[in-house]
Amino acid sequence: MQKAMMHLDIHVLLLILMAAVVAGGMRAEQEADRVAALPGQPAVSFKQYAGYVTVNESHGRALFYWFFEATKNPQRKPLLLWLNGGPGCSSIGYGQSEELGPFFPQKGKPELKLNNNSWNKAANLLFLESPVGVGFSYTNTSKDLKDHIGDTITAQDSYNFLLGWFRRFPQFKSHEFYIAGESYAGHYVPQLAELIVEENKKASDDDHINLKGIMIGNAAIDSETDQKGLIDYAWHHAVISDELYEKIKKKCNFKLENVSDDCNNALEKYFEVYRIIDMYSLYTPICVDSNYTTISQPYSHFKGALPKYVSHIKGIHGRALAGYDPCASVYTKNYFNRPDVQQALHANVTKIPYPWVHCSDNLDYRSSDIAFSLLPTIKRIVASNLRVWIFSGDTDGRVPVTSTRYALRKLKLEIEEEWTPWYTDKKQVGGWRVEYKGVTFVTVRGAGHQVPTFKPRQALQMLKHFLKNQKLPSLPF
């Protein structure tokens, strides 16, 4: 009996030692990713981490992340993953550096500017460059970049990233977890959420992800309504002529994935106007910086958000975002191509043979693996009792509020509270909202495609209400 007890004690001791070794390894990995400070960074009290998580060993695929703890009480705040779209555009370039992250590069200065409306005031904030081929994320299998990566692998790799990231940062595993994003992340976010829901049904406790909800903005979610709304919005906002509008309506059937040459020709005419104004923000100036001469638009590929027969049109990507400073993307690109910045971020460890850019030209997103509509996926997410908010900046011409309203109509959800204004703390109307059964829809007045860039205070207000599951205020306060 005594001998058996001794064996048991030794076994328990070994388990404790093994757990301590594993925990120590996790802490070491975590500490290796700690970013002490970036070149030109203002002093901050919150911690930040950046680095890689391998998502596919056999192919050598690794995704790059940048994580910021909440400014206060990170141990009690939820965790939010932010994804930008494209497909092929960087969440670090857009989301972190020009929209909702803590640090913004500046014109003509080596310093970073602190964003007073950073979303890590409300949550622990995780940015991911996904899929591989985007930003600093890489693969050792070159064929991955050529018609191998599509919606399915993007979701699977992102899920594998989360499993690996939570193993590295186990202190956040029990936190409420949310996924948010914009643009083609209207595919990424629901697809990843649904995969998590399905995997959670069979996952061990160690791999269970505490997903509570999703939020998507100016999101490509249904190809037919994305396209129809795109054209209707342009006509209603005096961007195209009556003649061209009627021609597109006559020649194009947006219920189809492939259409006629006549439709393509009409759409070519449609896109000409967006070579002289900003499709992503109709009423703000374009960048005329002589150091950045490409006169084109961000979110280049947009396959799936626009029909495949439009996505090949050149000259509509890569230009700096028009907002308070229409050349902001110039400064971001310059900053992330600095060797000292990459070293501080533990980035570009494989010496990627191309410069960091906002939207990848090296990735050929697989056109045969693009969902024509995410509405069935969103319906299933609603049925799983996850929180779902959809928001829309109302001056975006790329995935306009018109498209989103058409898509929501197709969902055929019961309306619990009709079109209602919501207010900011200065007694101004921030936009409007509709409460559907299972979905909240919010418009943000005067915001373009990247809502936090144009209306940072309102965007942070919206995030706080989303995380608390509270309606935006319908009366001035």
The residues annotated as belonging to the active site are: 183, 396, 449
Pairing verdict, β 177-182 and 79-83: parallel
Burial classification of residue 363, based on how many CB atoms lie within 10 Å of its CB (0-12 exposed, 13-18 middle, 19 or more buried): buried
Assess contact for 344 and 40: CB atoms under 8 A: no
How far apart are the C-alpha atoms of 103 and 108, rounded to whole Å? 16
Task: Write the CB contacts of 360 (distance below 8 Å, at least 6 apart in sequence).
Answer: 86, 88, 89, 90, 133, 134, 135
What is the distance, to the nearest Å, from the Cα of residue 228 to the centroid of all Cα atoms in its chain? 23
- CA-closest candidate to residue 464, choices 417, 425, 421: 425
The distance in angstroms from the start CA to the end CA of the chain is 72
3-state SS class at 182: strand
Peptide bond into 87 cis (omega under 30): yes
Residue 177 tokens, joined? 């977890």
Please give the single-letter amino acid code of residue 32: A
- CA-closest candidate to residue 316, choices 295, 293, 292, 296: 296
Residue 104 tokens, joined? 């913004």
What number of helices (H) and strands (E) belong to the chain?
13, 12
How far apart are the C-alpha atoms of 94 and 100, rounded to whole Å? 9
129 has which bridge partners? 64
Phi and psi torsions of 97, nearest 5°: -95, -10
